Amino acid sequence: MQLYYYHAPEGNFGDDLNLWLWPQLVPGLFDKNDGSLLIGIGTLLNHRVPEQLRKIVLGAGVGYGPVPQIDDRWDILSVRGPLSAFALGLDEGFSITDPAVLIRTLGLPKEERRFDISFMPHHANAHRAPWRHYCQVASIRYIDPRSTITSVLKDIRQSRLVVTEAMHGAIVADALRIPWIPVRMYESINTFKWHDWCQSLGISYAPIKMATLIDRERSVAAKVRRRVGPAMFIAGLKKRLNDVSPFLSQESRLDEATERLLSKVEELRSTYLNHSLRS
């Protein structure tokens, strides 16, 4: 079996979790290529999925491009949320939650909570402003979504609060019981997938909407931008953080979703790994 996921050129935490998570959950599943695809973490269910292959879906979602035509080459174990289930014409029972929450089942060692606030932009917006510099000035921990899985996970686990434009920053923080607050700095952010995941756990998606700093600064000289940019970001973010309460899903709801996903992982293992070993 092969993993099917989006390869961001500079790396992206949410997408890259696939290579890190699934081999730990189902060891040996990817040792042999039998011409089938596992479609797990990501907004992947669209017209770009290869037609000729067997496709096993465990937790992926709809949100970019036309939905695929589901036929007998698809084995859908679960999708990310109720909006994805509806878009695909599936019963809502196929909606569980994003499989990245299964990170909580791996027994990661506890980390000291060293950072009061951490900030994580969407990977596509990480280059659009000097976020690391802004965060350093504000004594906020900057989490680069393009960094390694190990690095991002460590930063999240060492945070008391994660402020994130990246959805998987919120998903992993929530799974590890770290409060989080969503922000939306650019109109390019896909709100459908956020609503899809949030509804799967009974959360309302209500991001802090911040003006696009980099667009405001285009007409400002470089020296002034270096001084004004951090001040605008710090003042705007900290003021808004005082006006909202952090998010965290209900433990019982998360536990239920985790157990349901684990049963799907076991189904994946028994159907495809055991079949591969027999053949």
How do residues 85-130 score in pLDDT, each as one tens digit?
999 999 999 999 999 999 999 999 889 999 999 999 999 888 878 8
The more confident residue out of 205 and 139 is 205
Q: Are 167 and 191 in contact (CB under 8 A)?
A: no
Distance of CA 17 to the CA centre of its chain: 9
Average pLDDT, the chain: 89
Share of residues in the chain with pLDDT > 90 (%): 70
Say if residue 15 is in the same domain as residue 139: no
What are the tens digits of pLDDT across the range 179-206? 999 999 878 889 999 999 999 999 999 9
Residues 161 and 95 in one domain: no
Residue 39 and residue 36: Cα distance in Å, rounded? 10
Same domain, 240 and 260: no
**Same domain flag for 112 and 243:** yes
Within this chain, do residues 189 and 228 fall inside the same structural domain, yes or no?
Answer: yes
Percentage of residues of the chain with pLDDT beyond 70? 89
Q: For position 121, which CATH number holds?
A: 3.40.50
- Residues 219 and 164 grouped into a single domain: yes
| Cα angle 13-151-211, degrees, rounded to a multiple of 5 | 55
Q: Which two tokens stand for residue 89?
A: 């014409």
Give the domain range for residue 233.
108-248
Is 119 found in the same domain as 100?
no
pLDDT at 77 over 50: yes
Q: Give residue-wise pLDDT tens across range 28-56.
A: 999 988 889 999 999 999 999 998 889 99
Which two three-digit tokens encode residue 9? 């050129």
Residue 137: pLDDT band by 50, 70, 90 thresholds?
A: confident
* Residue 216: φ, ψ to 5°: -65, -30
Asked whether 76 and 93 are in contact (CB, 8 A), the reply is: no
Is the same domain home to 92 and 166?
A: no
Q: CA angle, corner 262, sides to 261 and 264, nearest 5?
A: 65
Angle subtended at Cα 36 by Cα 9 and Cα 21, rounded to the nearest 5 degrees: 55
151 and 230 fall within a common domain: yes
Give the closest residue to 102 by CA, choosing from 190, 24, 39. Answer: 24
- Please check whether residues 193 and 219 belong to one and the same domain: yes
63 and 124 together in one domain: no
- State the total domains in the chain: 2
CB-count burial class (<10 Å; 0-12, 13-18, 19+) for 31: exposed
Kindly state whether residues 238 and 259 are assigned to the same domain.
no
pTM of this structure: 0.91
What number of other Cβ atoms are within 10 A of residue 50's Cβ? Answer: 11
Element (H, E) at 178: none
